[in-house]
Amino acid sequence: MAAAPTTVTKSPPSLVPPAGPTPGGSLPLSSIDKTAAVRVSVDFIQVFPAPTSGKEDRSPSSTIAAMREGFAKALVPYYPVAGRIAEPVPGEPEIECTGEGVWFVEAEASCSLEEARNLERPLCIPKEELLPRPPAGVRVEDTLLLAQVTKFTCGGFAVGICFSHLVFDGQGAAQFLKAVGEMARGLPEPSIKPIWARDAIPNPPKPPLGPPPSFTAFNFEKSVLEISPDSIKNVKDQVASETNQKCSTFDVVTAIIFKCRALAVDFAPDAEVRLGFAASTRHLLSNVLPSVEGYYGNCVYPGGLTKTSQEVKEASLVEIVTVIREAKEALSSRFLDWLSGGAKENHYNVSLDYGTLVVTDWSHVGFNEVDYGFGEPSYVFTLNDDVNIVPSVVYLKPPKPKQGIRLVLQCVEGHHSAVFGEELQKHA
């Protein structure tokens, strides 16, 4: 007899307002916040396994109530998050400090996390059931953050978050959620004092936009693969012995994917293959912001490199790591150039075609260290996986206790997937 389908019963979304009085008025966003590249909502899930015996003395309902209270208390120092995005002048969005609060949804699943395969892909619960959305008539694009906590029959939870990339980058959203967790666990104030200071970031003249990009929809194969700590260490050791330089896990994993994809797709030898990534520039804003620690706005800037297909296929991983490190160094000077108004081109323009690979690193943003009162999550994953106009890879921490890097891949079409998988397996 087939198992009964899993159902998720949601409460209607309710507003959690700040726990105390907050300032009104409107606040500007920074010139980085307002780049077209970040006008999206970001969805992700944090998976919290059932507490082991003796570790949890609160009922699930009191834990969720404490989490709701954590949001209310955190919204006092983070009062702009309780507001709404407005655009009184087209192209100039700002935050109206209305104090309305964040939308919060409570839900119950009819199965255990284990029965839901611990929310491994492919999801056996539709993602819409796990993600918060506002009531009908409220535009999700105008909200800064929404949360849904789904309780499973085993005592585990999934927390679904939707945040506006216009207002936070990943590190900034994680900073806010860590504060929510601290308040939920009874701390009197956040360990990091939040800083708005968006107007401290210069607003350099905009370089010419150029023609609008043309879009081609691709039919990407979706897959998940893990790169082991040993594989990563082997390449790091090779880099150290051949160049006397250290490199990061990001450099190694990106070099592996870039090379494996070039081998699998087998472009013409002189065809351009491009790598795109966004890097944090917080460390470059220390002379601009009152304090870099506590700033929760966007501090990311696009970087990348272009090579011929033949160059990438023939290069060793050490050589590819070296050019990735050079691209990261160039990004710093490009960002400072942009900040001072010296940029002659729009670096946010990315060629959206099959020759481009865009990588996003979620493995150390901070969402894995959020504790709302039921411990840190065993696994965090993003759900913005319906983009089909540019080949992409997201790096995640694999579910605990595994180590290494989990790759969420949608960067080759079906006829290239077998060879791509074979090449990646050599480094898994």
Residue-wise DSSP of 265-309: H---TT-EEEEEEEEE-GGGGTTTSS-STTB-S--EEEEEEEEEH
Radius of gyration of the chain (CA): 22
Distance CA 234, CA 241 (A): 11
**Burial label, 119 (beta-carbon count in 10 A; 0-12, 13-18, 19+):** buried
Separation CA 256–CA 275 (nearest Å): 12
Distance in angstroms (rounded) separating the CA atoms of residues 216 and 388? 8
The span from the CA of 391 to the CA of 238, in Å, is 28
**Residues near 187 by beta carbon (within 8 Å), at least 6 away in sequence:** none
Low-confidence ranges of the chain (pLDDT < 70): 1-4, 36-37, 53-58, 206-214, 343-350
In contact, 165 and 354? CB cutoff 8 Å: no
Domain boundaries of the chain, sorted by first residue: 8-200, 223-425
CATH topology of domain 8-200: Chloramphenicol Acetyltransferase (3.30.559)
Query: Residue 163, SS3?
Result: strand
Contact in structure between 294 and 192 (CB atoms under 8 Å): yes
Helix (H, G, I), strand (E, B) or coil at 42: strand
Whether the upstream peptide bond of residue 122 has omega within 30° of 0, thus cis, is yes
Name which of 278, 266, 345, 349 is nearest 308 in CA terms. Answer: 266
Q: Are 130 and 160 in contact (CB under 8 A)?
A: yes
Asked whether the beta carbons of 173 and 297 are under 8 A apart, the reply is no
Rounded to whole angstroms, how far apart are CA atoms 207 and 201?
A: 17
What is the residue type of 139?
Answer: R
The matching CATH number, chosen from 2.30.42.10, 3.30.559.10, 2.40.50.140, 1.20.1730.10, for 223-425 is 3.30.559.10
- Report the number of secondary-structure helices (H) and strands (E) in the chain: 8, 16
Cα gap 285→292, rounded to integer Å: 7
Cross-strand pairs, 178: none
373: left (phi over 0), alpha (psi -120 to 50) or beta: left
What letter does residue 192 receive in the DSSP assignment? S
**CA angle in degrees (0–180, nearest 5) for 291-294-296:** 115
- Residue range 374-389, pLDDT digits in tens: 899 999 999 877 778 8
pLDDT of residue 1: 42
d(CA 86, CA 95): 6
How far CA 46 is from CA of 148, 149, 184, 292, 327, in Å, comes to: 10, 9, 16, 26, 32
Return left, alpha or beta for 259; rule: phi > 0 is left, psi -120 to 50 is alpha, else beta: alpha
Active-site amino acid positions: 165, 371
Tens digits of residue pLDDT in 157-185 = 999 999 999 999 999 999 999 999 999 99
* Cβ within 8 Å of residue 306, ≥6 positions away: 272, 273, 274, 275
pLDDT at 208: 60
C-alpha closest to that of 82 among 5, 146, 153: 146
Confirm if 265 and 413 have CB atoms less than 8 A apart: no
**Rounded Cα gap, residues 116 and 208, in angstroms:** 49
Two domains, one topology: 8-200 and 223-425: yes
The per-residue DSSP string of 100-119 comes to: --EEEEEEEESS-TTTTGGG
End-to-end Cα, the chain, rounded Å: 38
